[in-house]
Homo-oligomer: A and B are copies of this chain.
């Protein structure tokens, strides 16, 4: 069954009951997405597993990409809310490296879900709040916080955006089996060093 109602504005959960139901749908999608991936997962199975009507599921998530974008958004929000602290004694570049390689390791544990989320990440609207803070903005702010940059200038934000895009790209090469996880993790550390190093130097001088 193909639904092409991607143009309709997705619903927001507002009451506590709606939020619970919304969380159940995200959990079901994360579980089934890890088993079946974007193509293989069926919206009907998500509705069944989360105990909602199929129409309800589509009201919140007009398509599978909307659903997986919301799962990613939820995972990133949790990571952010956990307010991870830089490892003791780590410099700012190392702190960001640890953040990104740690998150990568978790993503690699469920490669089908990770790929489904990254393939869906460009769906712009994630309906968990209005205005929703975009996934890439949450990640950017988290990177800046880990790097100890509390007053980012435009240039800092541009650099972090490049790092974020490089990170997604390196993750994708692993998930499509075009690169090993080890090579990608090494690439992520190198990207942190080359991109963030100058930003942080300028700041100290």
> Which among A75-83, A88-96, A145-153, A183-191 touches the partner chain?
A183-191
Is A194 on the interface with B (CB-CB < 8 A)?
A: yes
Chain B residue at minimal CB-CB distance from A179: B161
Is A158 on the interface with B (CB-CB < 8 A)?
A: yes
The A157-190 residues at the B interface (CB cut-off 8 A) are: 158-159, 161-166, 168-170, 172-173, 176-178, 183, 186-187, 190
Copies in the complex: 2
Could you tell me if A122 and B162 are in contact, using CB atoms closer than 8 angstroms?
Answer: no
Is A23 on the interface with B (CB-CB < 8 A)?
A: no
Contacts A122-B176, A195-B194 given; does A187 touch B169 at CB 8 Å: no
Interface string of A122-144 (1 = CB under 8 A from B): 10100000000000100000000
Chain A interface bracket (under 10, 10 to 19, 20 to 34, 35 or more): 20 to 34
Q: How far is the CB of A33 from chain B (nearest CB, A)?
A: 18
* Residues from chain B with Cβ under 8 Å of A166 in the complex: 162-163, 165-166, 169, 191
Is A198 on the interface with B (CB-CB < 8 A)?
A: yes
Chain B residue at minimal CB-CB distance from A198: B194
Q: How far is the CB of A198 from chain B (nearest CB, A)?
A: 6
* Residues from chain B with Cβ under 8 Å of A173 in the complex: 165
A47 to B93, CA, bound (A): 52
A196 to B5, CA, bound (A): 44
Could you tell me if A165 and B176 are in contact, using CB atoms closer than 8 angstroms?
Answer: no
Closest 10 CB pairs of A and B: A165-B169, A166-B166, A122-B176, A162-B191, A165-B166, A162-B166, A169-B169, A194-B195, A165-B170, A162-B187
